Structure 1
């Protein structure tokens, strides 16, 4: 892995992790504003707890060494959660300020996944 790709990977992964942890904390702390947002999107408030726990577990999976299959699941979970959030906000005609955070985390998920080192992948292709 080139130095450039390693830098891109770690910048994207650190920012992704910070974003997921910060939103997970907000989702896990009983904040009435967050519950109202979920209700406006058509989701039950207990969904906040589920998402918050999954995000924290996903960050751990992405950051710890080894366990490449678990990492793939974590990246997939981030991808589904962030596309779901973006689509939910778009469907409700929310302003871009509500849509942008999920799109940013989605972009960071894709960049982190794409540039991850070979040791963090489930399958390495070799060219003989």
Structure 2
């Protein structure tokens, strides 16, 4: 059983990491949707088609909306799963093409933010089959 103090601490951790994650997802989505030259070079280096930037960019924005809006815990689980897969896929892709750690670091940071945000989410933002 969590104490009020622990719940408050966890809520603060959740919101700090969730807002940081959301900012990171939205900012990278915008760069992808605008097809910034550095991001185009990045996707090309990874061997991905450029239309994937649009798909991932839109899904990141929709995922952030799903995580931030109240209620809809199942939708939040799907959004976190999507973030988990896209960021772990980015990390693995960078490793496969032998990118430097500085190229991998942004994906690692977002991946860690996703995990921390998911772990510390409040009870009312968790999906439970006992609803």
TM range (shorter): over 0.9
2:109 aligned residue? 104
Where do 5+ consecutive residues of structure 2 fail to align? Answer: none
- Choose the corresponding residue for 1:18, options 7, 10, 23: 23
Per-residue CA distance 1:16-74 (angstroms, 9 max, x = gap) = 00000000000000223322211110100000000100000000000000000000000
Where do 5+ consecutive residues of structure 1 fail to align? Answer: none
| Conserved 8 A contact 1:55-1:78 | yes
| Conserved 8 A contact 1:27-1:48 | yes
Pairs within 5 Å for 1:1-128: 2-123=7-128
Q: Secondary structure of 2:118's match? A: helix
Per-residue CA distance 1:63-119 (angstroms, 9 max, x = gap) = 000000000000000000000000000111101111011111111101100110111
Counterparts of 2:105 and 2:129 in 1: how far apart (Å)? 33
TM-score (norm: length of structure 1): 0.93
TM-score (norm: length of structure 2): 0.91
Q: Secondary structure of 1:75's match? A: helix
Q: Secondary structure of 1:17's match? A: helix
Aligned residues: 125
CA RMSD of aligned residues (A): 1.3
Counterparts of 1:29 and 1:56 in 2: how far apart (Å)? 13
Counterparts of 1:42 and 1:31 in 2: how far apart (Å)? 17
